[in-house]
Amino acid sequence: MKKILGIDVGATGIKGAIVDTTAGKMITERIKLATPKGGKPHDMIQTMQALIKEHNWEGKPIGVGFPAVILQNKVMTASNIDDTWIGKDIVKLIKKETGNPNVVVNDADAAGMAEITFGLGKNKPGTVILLTLGTGIGSALFNNGILMQNTELGHLKFKGGAAEKKVSNSARVSKELDWKSYGKALGEYLDHVNFLFSPTLILLGGGISKKFKNYGKYFPEHLNVVPASMQNNAGIIGAAMSYEALS
């Protein structure tokens, strides 16, 4: 058994658990702390540090899924977090403030790694896409099991704006959409993604995946869309896996 602390950083919550990366399972209860308002670097890393302490994991390896494009350890985008993250070497920052060796990847890519290795994407040929529906829309795209890193399908133009502003879970809440209206709108976006990439399978993750039966029945019938098997834990599991894969 190889144990790594996985941390899944979101715009509203930062979650963590110790993961058995050989089995793809959390072996401790998930702990969730609120993301600090403003999403500034020091404040967010201090919250990660609090999770590290909660798990008695000081100085040990951690994998982090982070809501940004990550290139050569640098944060390249800042959707739903503070712009001061851009250009920062996040791996060095986390190591400096926590003392923990770490690997950082895009949060949706992390969730996708878990699903493609241990979940419903396992051994699927062709293109498999995971979309995480939360404050925004994250995406992970795989071709024959190989990850195409840092895709941003939540920023596809859709109905005059970015898709995540129209059909993310936060958009559903802010627009006060009932499940039927949301399902139809999300189905249109998924149909657009399907047209562009012709995926074998689309997986939906994030907390709202637990409510799939409420809105999935309104999707176009020709789409092959299912809820991610690990639901909202995929990001934690995949973040831990990333440490082994990339360290």
Amino acid occupying residue 214: N
* Element of type H or E holding 194: helix 179-197
Is CATH 3.40.50.970 the right assignment for the domain spanning 3-109+234-246?
A: no
CA distances from 135 to 61, 81, 143, 206, 213 (A): 28, 11, 26, 10, 20
The neighbouring-strand residues paired with 14 are: 9, 33
Q: What pLDDT is attached to residue 154?
A: 95
- On the question of a common fold for 3-109+234-246 and 120-228, the answer reads yes
Q: What pLDDT is attached to residue 11?
A: 85
Angle between helices 90-98 and 41-54 (to 10 degrees): 50
Find all residues with CB under 8 Å of 26, minimum gap 6, and list them.
6, 17, 18, 19, 20, 233, 236, 237
Contact 223, 202 (CB under 8 A): yes
Residue-range domain boundaries for the chain: 3-109+234-246, 120-228
Question: How many Å apart are CA 8 and CA 110, to the nearest integer?
Answer: 9
Q: What pLDDT is attached to residue 179?
A: 98
Q: What pLDDT is attached to residue 85?
A: 96
120-228, superfamily in CATH?
Answer: ATPase, nucleotide binding domain (3.30.420.40)
Q: What pLDDT is attached to residue 82?
A: 92
pLDDT in tens, the chain (247 residues): 899 999 999 988 999 999 999 999 999 999 999 999 999 999 999 999 999 999 999 999 999 999 999 999 999 998 789 999 999 999 999 999 999 999 999 999 999 999 999 999 999 999 999 999 999 999 999 999 999 999 999 999 999 999 999 999 999 999 999 999 999 999 999 999 999 999 999 999 988 999 999 999 999 999 999 999 988 899 999 999 999 888 7
Q: Find where tokens 């992970």 sit.
A: 140
Q: What pLDDT is attached to residue 231?
A: 82
Cα radius of gyration (the chain): 17
Q: What pLDDT is attached to residue 232?
A: 82
Q: Is 236 left (phi over 0), alpha (psi -120 to 50) or beta?
A: alpha
Q: What pLDDT is attached to residue 246?
A: 81
Residues 10-42 pLDDT 10s: 988 999 999 999 999 999 999 999 999 999 999
Contact 223, 191 (CB under 8 A): yes
Question: How many Å apart are CA 187 and CA 184, to the nearest integer?
Answer: 5
